[in-house]
């Protein structure tokens, strides 16, 4: 009888241990599922929010820089500052300064060296006063007051000189004989950018709107 009772007690004990192990595994599985459902997405959301906050700071700093540079060249207006800020957002997202993978476009505003050279050859060459302001505002060598930059010069300046890139992007728009879109009118800005800045490119109005909302 004693042996039978011990056997029953042992079997009961082992049964309880097995049940506890099963419950522990089930609890571990439940906790893991809850962590995946709530904590991991929250962590990813925090990372995403952090990136968005960083981008907001970058855009604020770029906006201040755009305004300062344009003011030095007497090319500033609220419409111009906002359009250039939004142009940089759609052209590069303020993530890259060279067209991927091997395109010629350079700077946050993705201006091609050929375009910059054409601005000097067919626009600034006839506007001595403006050319002087461009040279001073972008802090480039004074020799460009009298001589035209080469393709190599323009590529290097676009790649290394933010002020020069801002001014070249501004002059792309300035050469257009049509008023700049109003501040805050994203739809009009998208149409303007697509028609005059991205002319011949692969852009779409929706791309501009997405990059700036």
User: What per-residue confidence (pLDDT) applies to 17?
Assistant: 61
CB atoms within 10 A of CB 119: 22
Contact 109, 83 (CB under 8 A): no
- Ranges of the chain whose pLDDT falls below 70: 1-51
Whether residue 8 is contained in a domain is answered as no
Whether residue 30 is contained in a domain is answered as no
Whether residue 98 is contained in a domain is answered as yes
Structural domain harbouring 166: 53-211
Whether residue 124 is contained in a domain is answered as yes
Number of domains in the chain: 1
CA distance 166 to 173: 11
Whether residue 28 is contained in a domain is answered as no
Contact 177, 198 (CB under 8 A): no
Whether residue 60 is contained in a domain is answered as yes
Whether residue 144 is contained in a domain is answered as yes
Whether residue 32 is contained in a domain is answered as no
Contact 19, 11 (CB under 8 A): no
Structure tokens at 147: 């001589």
Closest CA to 108 of 62, 70, 176, 148: 62
**Which contacts of 76-85 are long-range, i.e. CB under 8 A and separated by 24 or more positions?**
77/180, 78/183, 79/180, 79/181, 79/182, 79/183, 80/170, 80/173, 80/180, 82/183, 82/184, 82/189, 83/173, 83/180, 83/181, 83/189, 83/192, 83/193, 84/109, 84/166, 84/169, 84/170, 84/173, 85/59
Burial 24-51 (b: 16+ CB within 10 A, else e): eeeeeeeeeeeeeeeeeeeeeeeeeeee
What Å distances lie between residue 75 and 12, 34, 78, 125, 189, CA to CA? 89, 56, 10, 17, 18
The DSSP output letter for 142 is G
User: What per-residue confidence (pLDDT) applies to 85?
Assistant: 98
Contact 118, 111 (CB under 8 A): no
């Amino acid at each position: 009888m004693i042996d039978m009772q011990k056997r029953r007690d042992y079997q009961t004990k082992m049964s309880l241990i097995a049940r506890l192990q099963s419950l522990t595994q089930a609890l571990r599985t439940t906790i893991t599922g809850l962590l995946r459902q709530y904590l991991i997405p929250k962590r990813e959301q925090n990372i995403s929010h952090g990136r968005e906050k960083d981008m907001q700071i970058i855009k604020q700093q770029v906006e201040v820089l755009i305004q300062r540079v344009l003011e030095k060249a007497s090319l500033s207006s609220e419409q111009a500052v906002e359009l250039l800020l939004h142009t940089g957002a759609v052209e590069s997202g303020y993530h890259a300064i060279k067209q991927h993978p091997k395109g010629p476009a350079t700077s946050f505003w993705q201006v091609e060296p050929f375009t910059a050279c054409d601005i000097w050859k067919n626009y600034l060459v006839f506007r001595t006063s403006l050319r002087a302001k461009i040279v001073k505002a972008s802090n480039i060598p004074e020799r460009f007051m009298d001589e035209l930059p080469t393709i190599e010069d323009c590529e290097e300046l676009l790649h290394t000189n933010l002020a020069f890139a801002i001014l070249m992007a501004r002059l792309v728009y300035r050469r257009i004989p049509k008023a700049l879109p109003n501040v805050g009118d994203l739809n009009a800005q998208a149409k303007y950018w697509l028609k005059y800045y991205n002319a011949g490119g692969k852009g779409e109005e929706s791309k501009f709107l997405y990059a700036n909302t």
